[in-house]
Chain A
Amino acid sequence: MLVFKVLLLKNIVWVLRLFRRKSGTALPGLLAEKYAPELFEHFARQINRVILITGTNGKTTTRNLLSSILNKAGIEHLSNKEGSNMKRGLLSTFLKNSSISGKLKQKTAIFEVEEATLPRIIEYLRPEILIVTNLFRDQLDAYGEVNTTQGYIKEAIAQSPQSRLILNADDPLVRELGIDKKEEMVSYYSIESSARKKFNYEGDESKIGQIAQAIVAKDIEITKDLHTRFQINLINYELKIPGIFHVYNAVAAIIAAKQMNVSQKAVQDAFKSFKPAFGRGEELKFGDLNFKILLIKNPAGFSLTLDMLSNVENPSILLILNDRIADGRDVSWIWDAEVEKLAKIKPGNVFISGTRADDMALRVRYCENLEKKKIRTVIEKDLKKMVEIIQNEIEKGETVFVLPTYTSMNEFRKVLGKKF
């Protein structure tokens, strides 16, 4: 019976490809979740070593980095690199990698897991390490109050006492998660205070007791070519993606790698050849133009991305705001982001597109004096037309920084004729 189910579900992937339905990545998992829920436990039991990553921002980059490090170290592993981080996404990853008889050859797995999903799966996966990146406000119209989200993670930690925790010490809500754990079961990480100031964490620091010493990233610098440099314990690292927030992801991945006894050389090699995931600073070439994609999903991420762009001289920026379910139907979050930073960046052009281009255009309008406008904006809802406008307006070889929400990123790739 099991073989039959695995065979059937595995073939769905193939059938979907046949019909060129690229949206099929999570479908086998979705069907398995509904019709063969026992498969999850069946697969999970075969994995000896599980590392889970959760938190509102940075899951994908942290997983991606750790996965690159393990590749360099020659450790075969599973990873949900399609980015689907709910139970069905993990099931899809299992199914894709299993033999027809339902066997997995990998014994290690690195999964990013959506916060509410974590307590539903942790008892099956029994992770050796759980990384919690941060708890920013996100997906508000799904009622993702940060207190509720923190509750999910607390519940998961209680269910999995054998898991070591790697926690962002700078986020009070995350730091609190380690308070009841034995000291040797928790590692904290942090970044130097001048950089930490750029993050508006929720929660009250004063309510949380002292923690053991954190591993701190220092000498953080964004270079002119938009790489990120930093130092941990006197060792220099360079990431080929921009953003102070990625330093957090990198430190978490480095600590996890160390705990898995991976060599320093593998870590360094992975950083050298690291390629960002979809939307996390990847570059797309289109004719004579370069597009650098910096996904924005919530106020914290949007503010920090704008902050980072202040390292570029008069950047051209394309903002794409959609309000489909995966983006959040409520677009009010753009008013919680510090778009005022845009006025300080002195952008060359700000192009605005997406289903809610009007709302984004208003946000940009109100980030400076209404009567003394300095930012030049071009508004076009239709993304295809917008790309044509950009082709006409921007000089050859120039880079356009694209800040899309989730579904608009996929639409943008489609317009450029790039695969998912």
Chain B
Amino acid sequence: MDLRITHLYPEEMNLYGDLGNVIVLRRRAEARDIKVKIKSVKVGDKLKPNETDIYFFGGGQDRQQADIAPDLIEKKKDALLKDLRTGTVALCICGGYQLLGKYYLTGESRKAEGVGFFPIETVAPGPNVQQRCIGNISTRIIHEKTKEEIGKYYTYGGVKGKNLFTLVGFENHAGRTRIVGKDEMKLAKVIKGIGDNEDRISDGLRYKNAFGTYLHGSFLPKNPHIADLLISLAMKNKYGRKFGQLETLDDSLEWQAHENAL
């Protein structure tokens, strides 16, 4: 079996260790004897639909983010929307999360048009460091389907049930995100940190199989349940009943780091 990961804009959108997410997806899939192919899609490349099992879209500096936005609309949007609407798995962190929404207005009032898949709008209050949301963050998943699927696809003996629904990471963003659609898409509620906006209520979104969040850290190393969920959903999409369940890995180190970060 094989897994095709498409890394969107690895040069421009690669802040705060986001590459770690791709490393973790690859290593965890390979540990299950799944062959992994990683494709980098850069500025200028025309994205084609039906060639990807998991999209990864990381965060970038404001300037880079506004720079790539026109290319995203022109060369990637159609294929991306086609895939995401039919349930292709995607993990979008910070800038990637924002650009899957309607738009991002930067601190210098440059408007970066998003692909409009997530019903969110993001505005940065200004260009100053003081106005950024920076720090450790932990959240609890409230998205019902996600909770159910983690229970179904992720197994690890040594974990207490309550921890299976928490997420940990580090946030660093200027943008404040508002949901302009259904609340039931919300991914998680904030335990510690800021998240989507100053209300400190929610962070992230899930629509179909696309996940958006502000959690860097890197995100997946300390959240192995999400890593395995993404791989499982992608394998289920691709192989249907032929895919059963991922083999259990020894994630004691992952959960120790997770609990220490909670």
Contacts and interface: CB of A to CB of B under 8 A. Distances in A.
Interface of A: 140-143, 145, 147, 329-336, 358-359, 361-363, 365-366, 369-371, 379
Contacts of A359: 221-222, 257
Contacts of B63: 145, 147
Contact of B170 (A147, A330, A370): A330
Contacts of B116: none
A361 B27 CA distance: 15
Contacts of B31: 369-371
Given A141-B172, A329-B135, A366-B27, A335 B218 contact: yes
Interface residues of B, number: 35
A141 B134 contact: yes
Top 9 A-B residue pairs of the complex, sorted by shortest distance between their CB atoms: A332-B17, A335-B20, A335-B17, A358-B257, A370-B31, A143-B129, A332-B16, A335-B218, A362-B221
A334 B27 contact: no
A329 B261 CA distance: 12
Given A370-B28, A379-B253, 15 more contacts: A141-B170, A142-B129, A145-B61, A330-B170, A332-B170, A335-B23, A336-B17, A336-B19, A359-B221, A359-B222, A359-B257, A362-B254, A363-B221, A366-B23, A370-B27
8 contacts: A141-B172, A145-B62, A329-B136, A332-B18, A332-B217, A365-B253, A369-B30, A379-B253
A370 B20 CA distance: 15
A330 B193 CA distance: 14
A359 B257 CA distance: 6
B172 A140 contact: yes
Given A358-B256, A365-B253, A332 B218 contact: yes
A345 B14 CA distance: 26
B23 A147 contact: no
A69 B169 CA distance: 47
Contacts of A358: 253, 256-257, 260-261
Q: Chain A interface secondary structure, helix, strand, loop or mixed?
A: helix
A243 B261 CA distance: 34
B61 A147 contact: yes
Interface in B163-212: 170, 172
Contact of A362 (B28, B30, B62, B222): B222
Contacts of A331: 170, 217
B141 interface: no
Nearest to B224: A362
Contacts of B1: none
Interface of B: 14-20, 23-24, 27-28, 30-31, 61-63, 129, 132, 134-136, 170, 172, 216-218, 221-222, 249, 253-254, 256-257, 260-261
Given A147-B63, A330-B172, A336 B27 contact: no
Nearest to A371: B31
A370 B134 CA distance: 32
Contacts of B172: 140-141, 143, 330
Contacts of B129: 142-143
B249 A370 contact: yes
A361 B256 CA distance: 11
Contact of B24 (A147, A366, A379): A366
B257 A362 contact: yes
A140 B15 contact: yes
Nearest to A379: B253
Which of B31, B132, B253, B254 is most buried by chain A, counting CB atoms within 10 A of its CB?
B253
Contacts of A362: 221-222, 253-254, 257
Which of A140, A143, A332, A365 is most buried by chain B, counting CB atoms within 10 A of its CB?
A332
A362 B257 CA distance: 8
Contacts of A329: 134-136, 170
A298 to B, nearest CB: 12
A70 to B, nearest CB: 37
B78 to A, nearest CB: 28
Nearest to A339: B23
Contacts of B135: 329
A370 B136 CA distance: 27
Nearest to B23: A366
A333 B17 contact: yes
A335 B221 contact: yes
Contacts of A140: 15-16, 172
Contact of A336 (B14, B24, B136): B14
Contacts of A361: 253, 257
B93 to A, nearest CB: 10
Contacts of A334: 17
B3 to A, nearest CB: 15
Contacts of B170: 141, 329-332
Given A145-B61, A361-B253, A363-B221, A369 B15 contact: no
Contacts of A141: 134, 170, 172
Contacts of A379: 253
Contacts of B221: 335, 359, 362-363, 366
A142 to B, nearest CB: 7
Contacts of B254: 362
B38 to A, nearest CB: 14
A140 B18 CA distance: 13
A332 B16 CA distance: 5
A366 B26 CA distance: 9
A334 B260 CA distance: 18
A334 B16 CA distance: 9
Nearest to B218: A335
Contacts of A332: 16-18, 20, 170, 216-218
B27 A369 contact: yes
